[in-house]
Amino acid sequence: MASKYTNGELVSNMDDKYGVGGGVEDVYGEDSATEDQLVTPWTVSVASGYTLLRDPHFNKGLAFSEKERDAHYLRGLLPPAVSTQGLQEKKIMHNLRQYDVPLHKYVALMDLQERNERLFYKLLIDNVEELLPLVYTPVVGEACQKYGSIYRRPQGLFISLKEKGKILEVLKNWPEKSIQVIVVTDGERILGLGDLGCQGMGIPVGKLSLYTALGGVRPSACLPITIDVGTNNEKLLKDEFYIGLRQKRATGQEYAELLHEFMCAVKQNYGEKILIQFEDFANHNAFELLAKYRNTHLVFNDDIQGTASVVLAGLIAALKLVGGTLADHTFLFLGAGEAGTGIAELIALEISKKTNAPVEETRKKIWLVDSKGLVVSSRKGSLQHFKQPWAHEHEPVKELLNAVKAIKPTVLIGTSGVGKTFTKDVVEAMTSFTEKPLILALSNPTSQSECTAEEAYAWSQGRAIFASGSPFEPVEYDGKIFMPGQANNAYIFPGFGLGLIMSGTIRVHDDMLLAASEALAAQVTEENYKNGLIYPPFTSIRKISAHIAAKVAAKSYELGLASRLPRPKDLVKFAESCMYSPAYRNYL
Ligand SMILES: NC(=O)C1=CN([C@@H]2O[C@H](COP(=O)(O)OP(=O)(O)OC[C@H]3O[C@@H](n4cnc5c(N)ncnc54)[C@H](OP(=O)(O)O)[C@@H]3O)[C@@H](O)[C@H]2O)C=CC1
Ligand SMILES: CC(=O)C(=O)O
Ligand SMILES: [Mg+2]
């Protein structure tokens, strides 16, 4: 047990309201952070020097000032030099850039997060375009595949079948008490990489680091959770470094009971307003969990709902480039799972709202292809429930190319999880009847992208408007530079979650997703359009998130689902004021 000082008095961590770990209490809270806010001595409890240096929430490394070194027993524990956060940032970015292997950069970043949290977030916020592909797709995918080998320290909470009957106790083991958002996975569909079992933990950890960096939700309010019910991945089951349960996945009642215990325990421990984001569940569980808990919990499925909202935003923005309304377009999806049907449904809803046509009608402009071909009415008997609404009248078509020729889409969206499926023939066929084909290759990571940016531009003779789930570099084609966009739910969920949290929202409503889409689309500038972009750059993501949060919160107040009263007048300003700042504090 570490010793601690409170106002000069030695106390045991046992007595500390922060429990295990202890640390300098941040009396101003992380949300309304401003640099150089002084913490008065009588309100602060101070860890002994050694403990303080090893507490990632408060450690500043060489940036502890001379006075802090004296006040907090750090003399001798640090070399004499005193640094600034800016200089530390410069050094770490320099060091990161020396690594050739992206996974090594990932490991270095995770080490930083566990050593000095504020510096980690400062880096991520200031260098978002450079670091996003590391802490998020594509590199996080490789990290999950190799999670057992690169595992150093536990991140987040692991809840396995072994914890059945004890989940509430497990939640209480987590040191932070005021959790506002949980991202949870069971690891069965990690990006387009399939079942990675317990090693899927990289995803909730990565998503929550974006909640903080992109959405400004304070890190101590974020809890990553992996539910381990086994894995059907034979390779992992045989891998000596695998960190999860070595058994086949539990299914049926056993699975449902564990998940139900989890959902009840979370609500019991954190209350009605805890946001639970489901992430990378396989579709046979994802739709069911969302349907089962959407009326009793504040739940959000990022793959179904977040993806739908980000794609709809891109489509609304793209109308400026291609003209017409959404109702004028014909949509074809490769992939009819969570992402595909989620997006399709939100497009149909948006068109319905705009045209007053019933959703049953507006769905008819949207077609989906799954692994067996075009989803058509003659297949109805064997289709999963989420595909049923898309089984339109048409003769069976097996291949995507033939579906493209038959449907003549103006918008082609890849949500198959299978790379290289938008072939030259497919893109050329689409380009033959559409002046400006809109091509979204959403599958992650990069290896699973339906086509590359270069392929989309080259095969369409530079006519395609292209965006992808994982980032691609700008492409030079025919002497012109083309800027591919990134159509990724990372644009939506941080701001969406912030909007829910800051308004005390108790349930997610589809209209909030539409509001988020419109807010994101409104952030695309004329300059972006000139570059062929349908999404704004991630460099302005905090501003974007504040606008998304404000629109989501406004919708929540309008629907009577917000519990934070009175409603703040200026919701954008309020969102900004809630955002975590990673600037160091003075602990004096
Ligand atoms: N960019 C973003 O923000 C997001 C991207 N994604 C990505 O989308 C992909 C899919 O995710 P999700 O929808 O959750 O996965 P699902 O497993 O729910 O759906 C995959 C769909 O693709 C179909 N499919 C698989 N292989 C083929 C093939 N060879 N030809 C045609 N269809 C095929 C499946 O068919 P069947 O039903 O017949 O099995 C299924 O309908 C993943 O790569 C994921 O990373 C997901 C969420 C967000
Ligand atoms: C981006 C994301 O959520 C996915 O690929 O699953
Ligand atoms: Mg996902």
Of the chain, the end-to-end C-alpha distance in Å amounts to 24
Answer yes or no: do 318 and 402 share one domain. Answer: yes
If you measure from the C-alpha of residue 143 to the centroid of ligand 2, how many angstroms do you get, rounded to a whole number? 15
Answer yes or no: do 179 and 148 share one domain. Answer: yes
Cβ–ligand 1 distance for 371 under 6 Å, the answer yes
Q: Could you tell me the CATH number of the domain that includes residue 553?
A: 3.40.50.10380
Cβ–ligand 1 distance for 374 under 6 Å, the answer no
Answer yes or no: do 129 and 159 share one domain. Answer: no
pLDDT tens digit sequence for 453-506: 999 999 999 999 999 999 999 999 999 999 999 999 999 999 999 999 999 999
In a domain, 366, yes or no: yes
Answer yes or no: do 261 and 368 share one domain. Answer: no
45 confidence band (pLDDT: 50, 70, 90): low
Answer yes or no: do 474 and 326 share one domain. Answer: yes
Total domain count, the chain: 4
Structure tokens at 388: 């049923």
203 confidence band (pLDDT: 50, 70, 90): very high
* Nearest C-alpha neighbor of 386 from the set 286, 273, 471: 286
In a domain, 16, yes or no: no
Angle 137-335-249 from CA coordinates, rounded to 5°: 70
Residue 14 has pLDDT above 60, yes or no: no
If you measure from the C-alpha of residue 332 to the centroid of ligand 2, how many angstroms do you get, rounded to a whole number? 20
Contacts of 390 (CB under 8 A, 6+ apart): 336, 341, 344, 363, 366, 367, 368, 375
Over residues 70-84, the mean pLDDT reads: 97
Cβ–ligand 1 distance for 488 under 6 Å, the answer yes
Answer yes or no: do 129 and 141 share one domain. Answer: no
The residue among 83, 115, 133 that closes a domain is 133
Contacts of 97 (CB under 8 A, 6+ apart): none
Which protein residues touch ligand 2 with a CB less than 6 Å away?
A: 137, 191, 280, 302-303, 444, 469, 488-489
Ligand 1 atom showing the smallest separation from residue 444 Cα: 45
Over residues 138-160, the mean pLDDT reads: 96
If you measure from the C-alpha of residue 527 to the centroid of ligand 2, how many angstroms do you get, rounded to a whole number? 28
> Is 186 annotated as belonging to a binding site?
no
* Nearest C-alpha neighbor of 156 from the set 108, 70, 226, 80: 226
For residue 222, the cross-strand partners are 181
Note the maximum CA span of the chain: 80
In a domain, 434, yes or no: yes
In a domain, 585, yes or no: no
> Is 280 annotated as belonging to a binding site?
yes
Answer yes or no: do 332 and 441 share one domain. Answer: yes
Q: Could you tell me the CATH number of the domain that includes residue 122?
A: 1.20.1370.30
The residue among 282, 301, 320 that closes a domain is 301
In a domain, 334, yes or no: yes
Cβ–ligand 1 distance for 471 under 6 Å, the answer no
In a domain, 70, yes or no: yes
Mean per-residue pLDDT of the chain: 93
Range of the domain at 338: 306-487
Answer yes or no: do 407 and 315 share one domain. Answer: yes
Cβ–ligand 1 distance for 468 under 6 Å, the answer no
Q: What is the pLDDT of residue 588?
A: 83
**DSSP-derived secondary structure letter, 38:** B
Structure tokens at 345: 């449904």
What are the residue ranges of helices labelled H in 214-334? 234-238, 252-270, 283-293, 307-322
Q: What is the pLDDT of residue 2?
A: 35
Answer yes or no: do 254 and 340 share one domain. Answer: no
Residue minimizing CA distance to atom 14 of ligand 1 = 338
For residue 476, the cross-strand partners are 481
Answer yes or no: do 167 and 88 share one domain. Answer: no
Q: What is the pLDDT of residue 400?
A: 98
Contact by Cβ (8 Å): 44, 5:
no
Q: Could you tell me the CATH number of the domain that includes residue 386?
A: 3.40.50.720
In a domain, 583, yes or no: no
User: So which residues are the catalytic ones?
Assistant: 136, 207
In a domain, 3, yes or no: no
ipTM > 0.90 (yes/no): yes
Closest ligand to the CA of 340: 1
> Is 488 annotated as belonging to a binding site?
yes
Answer yes or no: do 332 and 395 share one domain. Answer: yes
The residue among 283, 301, 319 that closes a domain is 301
Answer yes or no: do 267 and 388 share one domain. Answer: no
Q: What is the pLDDT of residue 30?
A: 52
Over residues 564-578, the mean pLDDT reads: 97
Label residues 553-568 b or e (16+ Cβ within 10 Å = b). Answer: bbbbbeeebbebeeeb
Q: How far apart are CA 128 and CA 538, in angstroms?
A: 7
pLDDT tens digit sequence for 249-305: 999 999 999 999 999 999 999 999 999 999 999 999 999 999 999 999 999 999 999
Q: What is the pLDDT of residue 48?
A: 75
* pTM for this model (two decimals): 0.94
